[in-house]
Each structure stands twice: as C-alpha cells, then as structure tokens.
Structure 1
Amino acid sequence: MKIALTGGTGYIGSALLGQLVAAGHTVTALVRNDEAAAKARKAGAESAVGDLFDPSWTAERFAAADGVVHTAATGDARNPEFDRSVVRAAVQALAGTGKPYVHTSGIWVYGDNADITEDSPFAPPGITAWRAEVERAVLDADLVATIVTPGIVYGHGGGIPAGVIAAQRDEAGRVRLVGDGGQHWTTIHVEDVAALYVTVVERRERLGYVIAASGVNPTVRELAEAAAGTAGVAPETADASRERLGAPFAEALLLDQQTRAAKAKALGWTPTRPTLVEELRSGSYTH
C-alpha cells in the first residue's frame, strides 16, 4: 500500500514508519521541515514538507495515498486545532473512497475505570477533554475509520515513563511517586503499538475505537519501585503532584485505569515486547 503518515519522525510514528517499510509498504511522511524530511528518508520513506494546519495541502497528499495514518501531535495548546485540521483534510480526501483512515486518541479519555473497553463512557481529564468532539467528527464522516487509543507508551528509554518515573527523584535519590502510587496505568511498548497500527491499516476496515494496550496494568508504585532499585520510592500527596507536574498533566497521571485490550487482540495482534516493569528494572531508562 501507499501510506501517508503524519508524525513519522515522532515517538510512535518513527517506530510505525520502520515497521510499515519493513512490511513492504511505500510510506510518504508528511513533515514540517527539511530536517524531519531527511530523517524520514533515512528511515526508508518518501517525504513531503508542508503545513499540516493547512487542510488543502494535507488533503492533496492524503488523496494520493491508499491509506492514511495520523500520529502527529503538536504537544501544546494548538493540538485541538491541529487535529481538527487533519480530520478536515481526511474527510475532504478520503470520504466515500473506501480508503482507510487511522486516527490517534489516548486512553485518558476514559477516565478512572478498572475495566476499560472501547464502549466505556468517556470521562476525560481537562487535558484531553477536546478529543471527543474531534473523534466524533471522524466517526460521523463517511470514512473507513479506526481510532487507535494507546495506553501509556514506553520503550527505547522514551515516553511518559522517562520523564515522570525514571527522572523524578527527591534529594535522597528516591523515585517520586505520582500521588501515593496506588493508581494503575495501562501500558504498551512503542513497537507493539506500531504493530497494531500496521494490523489496522492493512485490514482496510471501519473498526471504530481500538484500544492499544498490553493488558498489563501496573501501579505507579510498582513502576517506581522497579526504577528505584535499592534507592526506594517517595510518595506524595495528590496536591503535591499537581504542584510539581502541573495540575492538568497530574490529573491525567493520577487516573486509575486498567484494560484487557481484548478487541485489539481479537484482530490477531499480540504484544510481544518486555513489560514496562521489566524495562525499568533492566536499567533501559537509566541515562
């Protein structure tokens, strides 16, 4: 397939680009500058430099592909409008064509929930409250749409665990917890989530939401203890975590979430990489 990919030099997108190329697909990475274009070409993709905030430019590139995967994010306050622009382009280019469009969400939209499924009600923290409107536009359009919803992504020393668990230590060298650490996080290795995107886009089906998670849901305390070794961990109040990390981010990290990700596994996808506890314990997050 000829696949247009946004975010192809990002954390998830770069893993996905490599797997798509390895699977024999022709990938065009839609990037923002020449440096990113060179990185994408080195990874085996073609590149197109432009403004993803411009639906017309984006739609032209989407229309030239057999399928589209959107993993890019701005990582700041512009992200809601960025996603709206990409979705407008997808509708313009792909509606009624039967070509697959794969969008990216995130597990936080489900809020506190001990058994999250794709049909669970949304209860997002403020930081992701905007997603529902954008994703409804995806599902209401005449698109062969799938919304991949990753848990906490880790692997290769990156992702949220790098900044929130491995790097956060107090004066005594103990790893700081987020709150008391009793909350569970859904987790997924970046290479496993990339493999799920490949599975989904190759199926060319309208799958709706698909949760991308390993089914392993450790507590934050378990993660911190794995990273700390003999140094130990340092619990704190939820308010202290909000002050340290910023209230919007901390509210998301304080969510207590678990999922079995049964729908993804029923598609024939099987996560195979080490768990996050194993990665933290092995020292792969030690810099």
Structure 2
Amino acid sequence: MHVLLTGATGYIGSAVLKGLIQGGHSVTALVRTEDAADRLRGTDVDAAVGDMRDAGFITALAQKVDAVIHTATTGDGHKAAAERTLTDAVIAGLGDTGKPFIRTGGILVYGQGEDITEASPRRAPSFVAWRDAMDIPTLQAPGIRSILIEPGVAYGYGHGIPNLVSRAEITEGDGPALILLGEGNQHWTTVHVDDLAALYILALEKAPHGSTYLGVNGHNPTARELGEAASRVRGLGGRVAPETAAETIARLGAFGEALLLSQQATGRAARELGWTPTRPTLIDEINAGTYTN
C-alpha cells in the first residue's frame, strides 16, 4: 500500500516507518520542516512538508494514498483542535473508499484499572480528556476503515516516558536514593516501540472497521519496580525514595497526575488479531543499562 504517515520522525512514528518499509509498503511522510524532510531523504520515503492543521493540504495528500496512519502530535496546548482538523481532513480525503485510517490514542483514557480492555469504561484524566470527543465518532465514521490503537507506555532504545523514572533525581545525604513518581505503587502498562510498530502494520493489513486495540505487551511493572531496577544499575543499591502525589503533580502538572494512575492490561484483542510481542520487557531494558547509560 501507499501510506500517508504523520509523525514519521517521532518516537512511535519512526518505528512505524521502519516497519512499513520492511513490509514492502511505500510511504509519504508528513513532516513540519525542511530539516525533518532532509532526515528522510535517501530512505525511499517521499516527504511532504506541511502542517497537520492545514486541512486542504491534508485532504489533498489523503486523496493520493491507499491508507493513512496518524502518530503525530502538536506538542502544545492545542492538541484537540489539531487532531480534529487532521481527522476531518483525512476522512474527507479518503472519501467513500473503504481505505484504512489508523489513529493513535492512549490507554490513559480508561483511567485506573486492574484488567483494562477495549470494552472498559473510559474515565480519562484531565490530561487526555479531550480524546473522548474524538475517538468514538471517528471509529464510527462511514466510508473508511477506521482503526484506533491505544498504546501503553512505549519504551526502547533509551527513549520515552521511562526516563522520568530511570533518570530521576537522587536524594542528598547518606544513603542516596532515586526519587519515585508518587509512592511508586502504580502499575504501568508497557510496550516496546518495535512491537508497537508491528501492531500498526498488522492492523493496517487486517483490522476491521471500527476496531480498537490496546498496544500493550502484558508486562505491567510498578513505578517502584522500575525505580529499584534503575537504582541498582546506577549504583544506588536499589534504594528509592517516594514522594507524595501532590509533589509529583507540582513537578509535572496534569501529566504527573496521569502517571500516578495504576493500570494493568494484557492486550488480548491485539493478540487475537495475530500480534505477538517479542522484545525484551522494560525491566530487562533497564537492567541492561539502556535507560541509565
């Protein structure tokens, strides 16, 4: 397929780009700057320089491809409006063709839960509450094959959210310890970025219209377990120091509030589609020094 990919130079998007190329698909990558386009040159990828909020430009691009995969984010306080503009433009461009449109959500929309599935109630924290007005209507959009992938905490190659734990500040004085996010008892759902990319490719090729998949590998460590592993690798003997929820939120705002949620999930629906995560767990990656060196 000829795929329009947003976020191709980002963390998840770059892994999806690699997977698409390895799978024999051709790619037009939407990038924001000429510098980003330069990074893609020589990779058999066509770069289209523009903004995801330019509706006419996005619609024109979508009209020329067989599928759209959206992994980009604006990285500012206008995410909701940008997502709405891009989504409407893609749907208009794909028209009544049945072509696939894969969007990236996130498991945080389900709030706290010990056995989260795609059918769980959505109790989104403020950080991602705007997604409620986007995800379900887009999945129900007629004329296209709409798919939503909701990743957990993506990791791999030393990047991503785990660095907030593994590279955290250290307490001063005798017996220095790694400072945790809150008490550290919250579970995080996790997924290696390369396994996650494989799910996108599988969904592109096989997932039915209106389907949602949690992108999680079933490994749900606590923030304390992650911190203790990082503490050992950093020579602190596994010592960790909790902070209050209020202190975490004061440091990180609404994002910190979201990171204090305890979530567990297995990603069973994705496995039923044929997805098999094979990469090392996040604990394995930390123990190997990927997140501390």
TM-score range, shorter chain: over 0.9
Q: How many angstroms apart in 1 are the aligned matches of 2:72 and 2:90?
A: 14
Q: Give the secondary-structure state (helix, strand or coil) at the position aligned to 2:213.
A: strand
Q: Which range moved further: 90-99 or 103-112?
A: 90-99
The one of 227, 233, 240 equivalent to 1:224 is 227
Counterpart of 1:140 in structure 2 is 140
Name structure 1 gaps, 5 residues minimum. Answer: none
CA RMSD of aligned residues (A): 1.2
Q: Which range moved further: 171-180 or 98-107?
A: 171-180
Equivalent AA in structure 1 for residue 275 of structure 2: W
Give the direction of change, closer, same or farther, for the CA distance of 1:121–1:204 in structure 2 (3 Å limit): closer
Q: How many angstroms apart in 2 are the aligned matches of 1:204 and 1:93?
A: 20
- Equivalence map 1:100-249=2 (5 Å): 100-142=100-142, 143-162=144-163, 164-172=164-172, 173-203=176-206, 205-229=208-232, 230-231=235-236, 232-246=239-253, 248-249=254-255
Q: How many angstroms apart in 1 are the aligned matches of 2:44 and 2:271?
A: 29
Q: How many angstroms apart in 2 are the aligned matches of 1:66 and 1:37?
A: 21
The answer to whether the 8 Å contact 2:105/2:150 transfers is yes
Counterpart of 1:40 in structure 2 is 40
Q: How many angstroms apart in 1 are the aligned matches of 2:191 and 2:25?
A: 24
Q: How many angstroms apart in 1 are the aligned matches of 2:132 and 2:204?
A: 22
The one of 257, 268, 272 equivalent to 1:262 is 268
Equivalent AA in structure 1 for residue 71 of structure 2: T
Q: How many angstroms apart in 2 are the aligned matches of 1:4 and 1:88?
A: 15
Q: How many angstroms apart in 2 are the aligned matches of 1:216 and 1:223?
A: 12
Q: Give the secondary-structure state (helix, strand or coil) at the position aligned to 1:160.
A: coil
The answer to whether the 8 Å contact 1:99/1:204 transfers is no
TM-score with structure 2 length normalisation?
Answer: 0.94
Q: Give the secondary-structure state (helix, strand or coil) at the position aligned to 1:129.
A: helix
Name structure 2 gaps, 5 residues minimum. Answer: none
Equivalent AA in structure 2 for residue 26 of structure 1: S
Which deviations, in whole Å up to 9, do the C-alpha atoms of 1:139-170 show, x marking residues without a partner?
231121110000001101001012x1122122
The answer to whether the 8 Å contact 1:186/1:218 transfers is yes
The alpha carbon displacement at 1:43 in A equals 3.6
Q: How many angstroms apart in 2 are the aligned matches of 1:116 and 1:171?
A: 35
Q: How many angstroms apart in 2 are the aligned matches of 1:204 and 1:123?
A: 25
The alpha carbon displacement at 1:249 in A equals 0.9
Q: Which range moved further: 209-218 or 135-144?
A: 135-144
Q: How many angstroms apart in 1 are the aligned matches of 2:96 and 2:178?
A: 51
The alpha carbon displacement at 1:48 in A equals 0.6
Q: Which range moved further: 164-173 or 101-110?
A: 164-173
Q: Which range moved further: 213-222 or 227-236?
A: 227-236
The answer to whether the 8 Å contact 1:103/1:147 transfers is yes
The alpha carbon displacement at 1:204 in A equals 5.6
The alpha carbon displacement at 1:207 in A equals 4.5
Q: How many angstroms apart in 1 are the aligned matches of 2:248 and 2:229?
A: 20
Q: How many angstroms apart in 2 are the aligned matches of 1:239 and 1:223?
A: 21
Identity %: 45
The answer to whether the 8 Å contact 1:95/1:141 transfers is no
The answer to whether the 8 Å contact 2:71/2:103 transfers is yes
Q: How many angstroms apart in 2 are the aligned matches of 1:155 and 1:175?
A: 21
The alpha carbon displacement at 1:103 in A equals 0.4
The answer to whether the 8 Å contact 1:18/1:44 transfers is no
Equivalenced residues, count: 285
The alpha carbon displacement at 1:268 in A equals 0.7
Which deviations, in whole Å up to 9, do the C-alpha atoms of 1:190-225 show, x marking residues without a partner?
101011000001126314211000011001111111
